[in-house]
Structure 1
Amino acid sequence: MRTGEPLPGVGDVLAALATGMWHWDTATGLVTVDAEAARLLGLPAEQTTLTEAQARARLHPVDWNEITGVVRLAVTEGTLAEVRVRIMDERGRIIRTVRSRSKPSYDPVRRAFELIGTLQEVAEPSPGTPAGRSAVTGDWRRSREAFLLDAGRALAEARSTEEVLRVAATLSMPGFSPDGLAVFGVEGDQLTIIGHHGQRPGTEAPFSHMPLETNYPATEVVRTGRAVYLSSPEEYKERYPATWPLVERFGRHSWAYLPLTAGGRTMGAWLAAFAYPVAFTPDERSVLTTVARMLAQALSRAGTAESERELTDGLQRSMLPTLGPEIPGMSLSARYVPTGGGLQVGGDWYDMIPLPNGRFALVIGDVQGHDVRAAGLMGQLRIALRAYASEGHRPDAVLSRASRFFCGLTHTDDPADLRFATCLYIEVDPVTGVLETARAGHLDPVIRMADGTVLIRATAGGLPLGVDPDSDYPTTRLALEPGETMMICTDGLVETGGHDLETGWMRLRKTLEDHDGDLEELADALVRAVHGPSSHYTTGPLSDRREDDIAVLLLGRHGEEPCGRGAPGAVRPTVRRTMLTVAQVEPERIAEGRQQLRELLHDWPSAEQVDSAVLLVSEMLTNVLVHTDTDALLVAEVTGFPGERRIRVEVTDAGDDLPHKRTPGELASSGRGLLLIELLADTWGVAPRGVGKSIWFDLHEPDDAEGREARADGVEGRRARYVSDGSGAA
């Protein structure tokens, strides 16, 4: 028999005896029931196939846990699995109790259980009576253990008072489930209602702000720290006549008031009210007491967490700046996401500082650590940077002074307590878009160009602040073109989620390339790329699990009016540009130049041309460092409409000697630079610059297969001449 197939004819015989049949295969997750079993489950009396979730929804939650435990035990012992099950309707009310008998088997190949069994309704004595309790004695202890485990797990995972109350409202205790719950707190000398379930809204008003001297069970529990059990309305009326009229209208028959005690202090009371008489046996009192203790601990944890969040929010609001007034021609956006541990504060920060010359400075940094000390050091460092910047110092001087200041703050005889801070300081000219940067061990800025091309702008840098009070911080000048956006961030944005700097950057790069909205939308997209759908952060949503602080700052320069070939909506010509200075003492930056050129040509259709351009750039920069004693300036620019673009690469130096072609021998290790340029470039040249010179070359984008073939023929022709005239080897 397979799940979904008609059940055997014996089902007709069993139906006459009011017994239903069912078949459950955990591999498929389907439960097939005949007409009688469907009726017992509260469904239309016809054979049907249910999913496990649909079947589970018809059963009492505690009974479902009992079934899974009994099935495993029956497989182990090779016996029948028998259990009583309470059937629930759509409103969560118990409509009947049935007895399930089944013969389970386990398939090790499929790693699944298969059960064929019967359902039969059984007469259930009234809940809370001795007969009712004795009828479930065999299942009671196992059900209680399963219930307490589930309740403890759910309450331990609740993170707020609201979540704790939601869990408490869904608790269904084995054998005697209350239909009314309330949690009382204390404010001063008054009882308050924290939350309730099972009563209509507004009916709690008489019990809210009730003086603790009132003759009411909950106030007595708070005053004495001892539970109060009331098994009948008569007992309630006799012991608490003053408040009985307030309770009588709810129509309950038994009440249990238990203290909520945490840390040796009674913080409130918990009410469980029953619509039927309950004798409150020792077993039942034990369950209620255990639940009350777990509930008190959960409320205490939630209250502490909420207080910490309020403290954190206040601390963040006091430390994080506003982005200041609107800047003509530019837009700013920022996000700060604290770490998920402790007080959720750390050492990441950002700032925007108005400068005396009409410019402004952007600062982002990260003080080592994720604790209150890191947050305190961050606040002091941010104030110092503001002071130095406001005095009109250049970016390198601002960081040099900040490093000396931070060394004084963090000086200690204990090496384990030494702290340092990374920082990126950028002075922005909003008129020209010029950015003057100084970097102290921080990540380089990232530029998103108008067409979506994304580049990491390599900048000169020094040691992190606080490492050496005499550190120097060289300045690098960049330009933010119209339509471009700069992103600066801390490493938490890159490395969260188990990524390193390389893989984390690739994740963010895709977000930057794909996003074409405003800066606020881009900032949200960057955070979502790291954390996924989120729920709260300083200026927007934030995910609940955070590995490191995140600070990100976006600066956009407004683009020019759309331009094209005369018609509205015409294709906009590409304009991309990158600049890089390679100093004599930094030959390793030649590799950065090659990487930036590849990123600039990320969508170039000819991979061979890209390889040629990278080879020529490497040759030109190396020649400057080898044959002169000056630095090299690399400027690469892509212009033109898609399909007919041009890449021009220019390397400038301050040397006086102009390059010239030579004829190196086969074994020569140099002298082929200009020959390579002539061979691989479409056009090239050397130009004096008054002081120094520049050498440049152009490559033109092939617009179709025929053009690419013709261009390849031209390259091959030059290569053939290069070989035939004896100037090089094939």
Structure 2
Amino acid sequence: MVERAAGTPSLPGEWPVPPGVSLSLNRMGTFDWDLDGGRLHLDAPALAVFDLRPDEYDGRRRSLKARIPPGEMRRLDEILEQAVRSGSEAYSAYFRVCRRDGSRRWTHTQGRILRDPEGRARRVVGVVRDAVQELVDSTARHELAAARPTRTSVVEGTAAALAHARTVQDVIDVLKESDGLAHLGATSLVMGLLESGRIHLVAEGPDGSYVPGTRVTRTDEGYPMSEVLRTLTPRFIESPEEFAARYPLLWPQISDLGINAAAYLPLIAQARPLGALGLLYRDKSGFSAEDRDILLALGSSIAQSLQRAMLFEQDHDLAQGLQQAMLPRRIPAVAGAEIAVRYRSARLGQDIGGDWYDVIPLPGGRVGTVIGDVQGHDTHAAAVMGQLRIVLRAYATEGHSPATVMARASVFLYELDTDRFATCTYAEADLATGVVRLVRAGHIDPMIRDTDGSCRRLPVPGGMPLGLSAVFGELDYPVETVELDPGQTLLLYTDGLVEQPGTDLDEGMLLLAALVRDGPRDLQQLADRLCGAVDEQGGEDDAAVLLLRRGGSRPPRVGGRLQQEVGEGDPGALRTARRMIRAAATAWGAAGRVDEIELAADELITNALVHTRAGAVVTVQVVPGPQRRLRIEVEDLSSALPHRRDAGESGTSGRGLLLVDLLADGWGVESRGSGKCVWCEFGVPERPAG
């Protein structure tokens, strides 16, 4: 009986064999990828292709990072993303798997993209298989030239990988991750970039091959990279003796590495030297004309990729610098609240732009918080964002109501004569009472985190985005009023925090709520956690987040808030307002100053009635704080601001505000959108305990 060859599987007992057995015998496995939930099921044969044990895989794609090099993972992501965007039903790709022993094997995957009735990709079902034998076959090598183990294909494959490199670090990663050096027979690599007459070493490999003293060198020193950058000519060294004679400074430091040949290439793009690349060999017997042509082509491809990466980084730094300059330099401390803000720039391209946040201290212990997003991801969006943020802050500081702030900002954006619109949420919080008034202009609903950590969506009726509402004349923004209890947190954020590829908005908000629920209680750590989660998921949009937590405990009832309208020519209402003020001052512990309070209030009311020719609204309330204060506010419809002036010896007017200034502990004027408010305050003794 002929013995079965070692490693040959036994004959199956069934006829015909089940599909799973057939796939396994042919070193093929299946997968099912849930794009919505992020789950990725791999059957046992698929795990074998990746050289993974079942206990090493947790059903998530991140478990494959140990087996798929980062450069290959990025390429697979781009292939799938292109197929999803183009509406394709299937895709396929060859890639390399790093096995447990460190070797790399060619692998092939193909999948079917399953979509819902609206055309959104929901799942990918497919197979993954070992492709080593396939690529050994001459026909497969002809069809897949990029996979041919020849020196020419190394240049082509490296150039293809470099085409996706966006940053200098991406270029370095491609060189260190690819098998190009191994195919070319190189033992190690060094690369330096030229800056201000000095060569800065940015890559060396394998790890541990760094030569001390060469991290930064000058172009006039006796090193090979210095020489090729001085002469802009490549240097091919074909023996240890030649190396020692040409470069006596470097050779003693690498002679024990067994190097017998080297190639140093200038990296030149558009006639500008960018740096130099060095390839060192142990078993190289000279460089043929073909070798030199291939290496020169490799150097040219690397130089072009480096130049593209440098320009990208410069543009991105410029755009990001503009974005950061447009955001507030610091967030003011707000008594009675904890605040955390974060801005996270996009991962790809110049994708920074219109996301912004702001915190605006307002009179009377109030604070305004803003989150917004200008349409677009470019420097124009960042510039529009900066102007809109400043204008919205100005309107809020002037004392306009939240609805008026939003309407005026919309008109401003429309009159800016730009083709951009913006979404925004503005929240005005009274930290003493916990009352929050919210206005939403086409933006995502905010969330509230309760004291027990649970998180819920806060539905807020909204109007049209800023700019568009002015175009269509829809400037009425509804105001939603909620109460924020001590310890509760208001979450404002932009869509970059919840919109991820392959998921819809509702799913993204559920994921965000779960992150907030399970996140740390510390507000700064929570903000870091939210932005970190977006980075982990590979978000391609910028994102901003603002967290506001009301501090302290619920304030005790220290009085109330009384209000009276006083019409022009209505002496009865005026008498009623005076009695109200006197009674409130006496009831709230200011009986010793009741005459001063009544006199000052009478002056403010009289000024409003005389100078505005209209009615006024009088409010009296106790403001809690380190020192209790009784506050009188008189609102009218005039935008003219009063000021203290000298009445002169015989003057009959002009003494009112002078008198208020002498009687009250403080007074001032606030714009209120359709008019103004003149106020004065008096210190009130604390009530005895009990």
- Band of TM-score, shorter chain: 0.5 to 0.7
Counterpart of 2:482 (choices 447, 455, 478) is 478
Cα distance, 1:364 vs structure 2: 1.3
- In structure 1, what is the equivalent of residue 430 of structure 2? 429
Cα distance, 1:526 vs structure 2: 4.6
Counterpart of 2:168 (choices 150, 153, 161) is 161
- In structure 2, what is the equivalent of residue 459 of structure 1? 461
CA distance in 1, matches of 2:198, 2:128: 58
CA distance in 1, matches of 2:393, 2:372: 13
1:441-452 matched pairs, under 5 angstroms: 441-450=442-451, 452=454
1:257-656 matched pairs, under 5 angstroms: 257-321=264-328, 324-409=331-416, 411=417, 418-450=419-451, 452=454, 454-459=456-461, 461=463, 464-465=466-467, 467-468=469-470, 471-512=475-516, 517-524=521-528, 526-527=530-531, 531=534, 534=535, 543-546=537-540, 548-558=541-551
- Given that residues 143 and 174 in structure 1 are in contact (C-alpha distance below 8 angstroms), is that contact kept between their aligned partners in structure 2? no
Q: Which amino acid aligns with 1:432?
A: T
Cα distance, 1:198 vs structure 2: 5.0
Cα 1:361–1:291, aligned 2, differ >3 Å: closer, same or farther?
A: same
- In structure 1, what is the equivalent of residue 190 of structure 2? 182
Cα distance, 1:270 vs structure 2: 1.2
TM-score normalised per structure 2? 0.55
CA distance in 2, matches of 1:153, 1:115: 21
Q: Which amino acid aligns with 1:197?
A: G
CA distance in 2, matches of 1:166, 1:359: 51
Q: Which amino acid aligns with 1:196?
A: E
Q: Which amino acid aligns with 1:552?
A: V
- Given that residues 454 and 512 in structure 1 are in contact (C-alpha distance below 8 angstroms), is that contact kept between their aligned partners in structure 2? no
* Structure 2, gaps ≥5 residues long: 11-20, 28-46, 53-67, 69-98, 104-126, 134-146, 555-690
Bigger mean CA offset, 469-478 vs 368-377? 469-478
CA distance in 1, matches of 2:518, 2:249: 69
C-alpha RMSD over aligned residues: 4.4
Counterpart of 1:28 (choices 13, 24, 30) is 24
Cα distance, 1:393 vs structure 2: 2.5
Q: Secondary structure at the match of 2:408?
A: helix
Cα 1:181–1:508, aligned 2, differ >3 Å: closer, same or farther?
A: closer
- Given that residues 330 and 555 in structure 1 are in contact (C-alpha distance below 8 angstroms), is that contact kept between their aligned partners in structure 2? yes
Q: Secondary structure at the match of 1:194?
A: strand
Q: Which amino acid aligns with 1:28?
A: S
* Structure 1, gaps ≥5 residues long: 1-6, 12-19, 32-49, 56-60, 62-87, 93-109, 117-139, 412-416, 536-542, 562-730
CA distance in 1, matches of 2:456, 2:372: 22
Counterpart of 1:193 (choices 198, 201, 205) is 201
Cα distance, 1:211 vs structure 2: 3.7
Q: Secondary structure at the match of 1:179?
A: strand
- Given that residues 462 and 474 in structure 1 are in contact (C-alpha distance below 8 angstroms), is that contact kept between their aligned partners in structure 2? no
CA distance in 2, matches of 1:188, 1:303: 15
CA distance in 2, matches of 1:216, 1:435: 68
Q: Secondary structure at the match of 2:328?
A: coil
- In structure 2, what is the equivalent of residue 681 of structure 1? none
- Given that residues 413 and 466 in structure 2 are in contact (C-alpha distance below 8 angstroms), is that contact kept between their aligned partners in structure 1? no
Cα deviation 1:465-502 (Å, max 9, x = unaligned)? 36418734343332212343322223333443344444
Pairs aligned (count): 444
Cα distance, 1:112 vs structure 2: 7.2
Cα 1:264–1:511, aligned 2, differ >3 Å: closer, same or farther?
A: same
Cα deviation 1:321-365 (Å, max 9, x = unaligned)? 366344444322333233344323111111101113331100111
Cα distance, 1:438 vs structure 2: 2.9
Cα 1:463–1:258, aligned 2, differ >3 Å: closer, same or farther?
A: closer
Q: Which amino acid aligns with 1:426?
A: A
- In structure 1, what is the equivalent of residue 238 of structure 2? 231
Cα distance, 1:382 vs structure 2: 0.7
Q: Secondary structure at the match of 1:28?
A: helix
- In structure 2, what is the equivalent of residue 46 of structure 1? none
- Given that residues 407 and 465 in structure 1 are in contact (C-alpha distance below 8 angstroms), is that contact kept between their aligned partners in structure 2? yes
Q: Which amino acid aligns with 1:318?
A: A
Higher relative contact order (CA 8 A, sep 6+): 2
TM-score normalised per structure 1? 0.52
